[in-house]
């Protein structure tokens, strides 16, 4: 699918602010793909569609998770997590994207997972550091991303976990698994 067609499909799903975020993720993901040798077209499409389900009603997302073979533990954690797997499902169903790598990059863009692919790492990180993001620590991750993708990803996951802890929020187990997996591979 061409960029313009994908952008058109996504724009109607999002608020203007979220659409601008998506454009930032798109540019950042393509630049990271070029830097780290990933498929730039796949990075572009995955970025465009990554927040496709962000504004779906909670009841619709809950029903999809309950009935379409998704990990049921998602339902016991923050609903903010749901738009990632539900997005992968809807992007396939409604936009006709069938590429497994693209769909998995969308699916795991919020929690990460053990054994993330290069494309999954790029989308996770691009989502975190796109130019519209302004939270504490983001500049440090931006700087690390220019030299070491895995180190930048670790920092982003650490910051996310710390952020959740400080707000007394639950942390989805896969987020911890992602962190542990990246640290183990760094030590190896
Ligand atoms: O959709 P975006 O805002 O662009 O970014 P995102 O997909 O990374 O979603 C971020 C939200 O998800 C943010 O409010 C924090 C929340 N989140 C991320 N990881 C976890 C989480 N919430 C819980 N409870 N547990 C997690 O592990
Ligand atoms: Fe998201
Ligand atoms: Fe996002």
* Residue 140, number of CB atoms within 10 A of its CB: 14
Pocket of ligand 1 (CB under 6 A): 51, 54, 77-78, 80-81, 84, 109-111, 127, 160, 164, 169-172, 175
Residues 85 and 70 sit within 8 Å (Cβ to Cβ): yes
Question: Over 90: is that where the pLDDT of 149 sits?
Answer: yes
* pLDDT for res 37: 98
**112 within domain boundaries:** yes
CA dist 115 and 77 (Å) reads: 22
Q: How confident is the model at residue 29 (pLDDT cuts 50, 70, 90)?
A: very high
Question: Over 90: is that where the pLDDT of 186 sits?
Answer: no
* Ligand nearest to C-alpha 28: 3
Q: Provide the domain count of the chain.
A: 1
Question: Over 90: is that where the pLDDT of 76 sits?
Answer: yes
Per-residue model confidence as pLDDT tens digits over 80-128: 999 999 999 999 999 999 999 999 999 999 999 999 999 999 999 999 9
**9 within domain boundaries:** yes
**173 within domain boundaries:** no
Residue 36 belongs to domain with CATH number: 1.10.3210.10
Question: Over 90: is that where the pLDDT of 143 sits?
Answer: yes
CA of 76 to the centre of ligand 2 (A): 18
**Residue 20 structural domain:** 3-133
Residues 6+ apart with CB under 8 A from 100: none
**148 within domain boundaries:** no
pTM above 0.85?
A: yes
**106 within domain boundaries:** yes
The pick from 24, 50, 80 for probing ligand 1's pocket by mutation, whose C-beta has the most ligand atoms within 8 angstroms, reads: 80
**154 within domain boundaries:** no
Query: CA 153, 37, 35, 109 torsion: positive or negative?
Result: negative
* pLDDT for res 39: 98
**84 within domain boundaries:** yes
CA dist 116 and 124 (Å) reads: 10
Nearest CA to ligand 1 atom 18: 110
**155 within domain boundaries:** no
């Amino acid at each position: 699918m061409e960029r313009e067609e994908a952008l058109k499909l996504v724009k109607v799903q999002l608020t203007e602010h979220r659409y601008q975020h998506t454009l930032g993720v798109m540019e950042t993901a393509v630049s990271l793909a070029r830097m780290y040798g990933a498929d730039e077209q796949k990075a572009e499409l995955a970025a465009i569609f990554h927040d496709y389900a962000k504004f779906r009603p909670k009841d619709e997302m809950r029903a999809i998770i309950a009935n379409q073979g998704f990990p049921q533990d998602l339902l016991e954690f923050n609903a903010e997590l749901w738009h990632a797997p539900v997005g992968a499902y809807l992007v396939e169903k409604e936009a006709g994207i069938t590429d497994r790598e693209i769909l998995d990059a969308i699916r795991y863009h919020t929690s990460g997972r053990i054994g993330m692919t290069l494309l999954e790492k790029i989308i996770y990180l691009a989502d975190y550091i796109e130019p519209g993001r302004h939270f504490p620590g983001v500049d440090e991750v931006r700087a690390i991303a220019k030299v070491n993708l895995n180190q930048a990803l670790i920092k982003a996951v650490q910051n996310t976990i710390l952020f959740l802890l400080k707000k007394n929020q639950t942390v989805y187990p896969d987020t911890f698994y992602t962190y542990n997996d990246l640290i183990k591979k760094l030590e190896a």
